[in-house]
Structure 1
């Protein structure tokens, strides 16, 4: 049998679902078909991949799943304006610990700023960050330059889910539905900061303190220590996150950032100004 195994593997590599009876014909097998079937049964999972119904065993510090949740609620953003803003959600796969923050937009700079904030609160990073094909992260099937630079500075790696496969990161997807039904109803929010503050309290007091059967009838907050112990430490300096651009200041001395207009001193009309924005502040400077 060992002499035939390379041929079996070559066939399964190209045709993972090929029946054992067909394999027997292709390799010229003339002995007991039961023996061949037993060997194929052992080898086939290496090439067929994981069944979507299978349960994945996660190791401490190994993986975190990320997603954007869009609550069906218009948040006051000042000056009588309302906006539906995304919430960046992180779920640690081993401990099932969740954290989240409302961000200004789904642009890459804002997403990475939110990721850095959540990771900074943990004080560590998992060995793998799992995302779907969010356009600012990996919409074309490979990490964007911005996302690749971010994960490179953290010393971790980014894994993109296959297209149209929400179950690949089903843990965080199910959490989003859980938030819709268990956190959002009956609440009112005065601002994005108020939303994040209420969400943080609810996660700490309820979501992360519930007993979860899949982690041995334990609570995420109790398993978090074991998860953190196997994570990588964060770099000593923060990576480049947020939005940044350079524009020439027009005669009306206003610049637009995330749909809002900000005035600049008229003395720099006609000169280039550098605009940077994080989750809390917009800075405009003229370096000339």
Structure 2
């Protein structure tokens, strides 16, 4: 079975680099039919493997203590200090992963970017408490802002998302790229759990990220730990947001926050940058021209699940219950949700469409669903109740029974 990584690389080499199918097959060691199938597919091949704990997990806190005190301590000496008696290969890989965190940073240098080459992404956690309706509020750790800065033009964009879950993060990621109108050839991220991390001396992307970047036919680069210069553009944007955007503002909810943020970013993108000598609006056209076109089929993002609708005709998503038309009780439905809407479909027909609620533990009911449920319950009760007797029963006098039994006024006949 073709791995997700090979599938994504095949699409990038063919669409971004223009390499022919025959050459891709020779480079990757696969058949040409495999390459053609990967190019025709709308989504990545499904592959699931249960995660297994490592034997070095228990020793990691002690390894971190030693590296914090002596960042250059060899792995063999660390093994001696902690009394390690298991495989050295496993320990060396973990030490190589942890060591960069404790080494002193490298000197900074100015980086030049080519048009269409790169865009940096990160999560910003504004120090605010935001109302989300139903009497609830959320902190920045629960409602992060996904930000983007294009390297060549310094074009900035951002959107508040409901959570750091992969479903919401990738939906916001696609929203930013779609609004840009093109795909940068490399997407730079810090070690965000839903995207990937730096492990064993190399970047390691999640399966969801491999499928996402394969659909876009681009690269995703994970920054090394303790290397803030690698995404300095987006870090400076975060500082600018806290100094210029937040002060003096109040927000009524997530929609109001995103509206104010979008208006502020439109203004910011018209301001000249000292490093550029011009505003991002003067360079964005050249940047977009060198980027990749948007894919013909949008990547699958957001929440997607399938379930059989229970008798209470509600489905649960992200801690909230949403009503569904009771006519499809007992049938399998598909739940689809993005940053703004929650939809439920049955056999290709939409049977529920709600605004997504960012509060938690709420029950959202549509009036038409409640009315339909009452009507169906009344109809079912009518079917189960016995029909009333329409004919009247004759009431006979007691003397008729005496005559029938042979009884007379004087005694027994």
TM-score (structure 2 length as normaliser): 0.54
Counterpart Cα distance in 2 of 1:52 and 1:194: 41
> 1:214 is matched with which residue?
275
Structure of higher RCO (CA pairs closer than 8 Å, 6+ residues apart) = 1
Q: How many residues align?
A: 237
Trace 1:107-122 onto structure 2 (pairs within 5 A). 107-122=165-180
1:101 aligns with 2:177: no
Counterpart Cα distance in 2 of 1:257 and 1:187: 31
Counterpart Cα distance in 2 of 1:267 and 1:154: 39
Q: Deviation per CA, 1:118-169, whole angstroms, max 9, x where unpaired?
A: 1111211111000111011114641111111111111111111112333321
Larger Cα Rg: Structure 1 or Structure 2? Answer: 2
> 1:64 is matched with which residue?
119
1:242 aligns with 2:297: no
> 2:259 is matched with which residue?
197
Paired residue secondary structure (1:214)? coil
> 2:195 is matched with which residue?
137
Counterpart Cα distance in 2 of 1:135 and 1:283: 27
Q: Is the 8 A contact 2:108 2:229 kept in 1?
A: no
Equivalent of 2:323 in 246, 250, 263: 263
Counterpart Cα distance in 2 of 1:82 and 1:268: 35
1:74 aligns with 2:135: no
Trace 1:226-237 onto structure 2 (pairs within 5 A). 226-237=286-297
TM-score (structure 1 length as normaliser): 0.76
> 2:226 is matched with which residue?
164
Counterpart Cα distance in 1 of 2:166 and 2:309: 24
Counterpart Cα distance in 1 of 2:332 and 2:194: 26
Equivalent of 2:240 in 178, 185, 190: 178
Q: Which runs of 5+ in 1 are unaligned?
A: 1-49
Paired residue secondary structure (1:233)? coil
Counterpart Cα distance in 2 of 1:135 and 1:52: 27
Trace 1:18-37 onto structure 2 (pairs within 5 A). none
Q: Deviation per CA, 1:39-81, whole angstroms, max 9, x where unpaired?
A: xxxxxxxxxxx95411111111100000111222222222222
Change (3 A) 1:135 1:242: same
Report deviation, 1:82: 1.8
Report deviation, 1:202: 0.7
Q: Deviation per CA, 1:193-246, whole angstroms, max 9, x where unpaired?
A: 2111111111112x212221111x211121111211211111122111111122
Counterpart Cα distance in 1 of 2:129 and 2:314: 26
Report deviation, 1:286: 3.9
Task: Point out the more displaced range, 126-135 or 74-83.
Answer: 74-83
Paired residue secondary structure (1:221)? helix
Report deviation, 1:251: 5.4
Counterpart Cα distance in 2 of 1:177 and 1:83: 21
Q: Is the 8 A contact 2:122 2:189 kept in 1?
A: yes
Equivalent of 2:342 in 275, 282, 288: 282
Counterpart Cα distance in 2 of 1:170 and 1:240: 30
Change (3 A) 1:52 1:273: farther
The CA RMSD over aligned residues, in Å, is 2.1
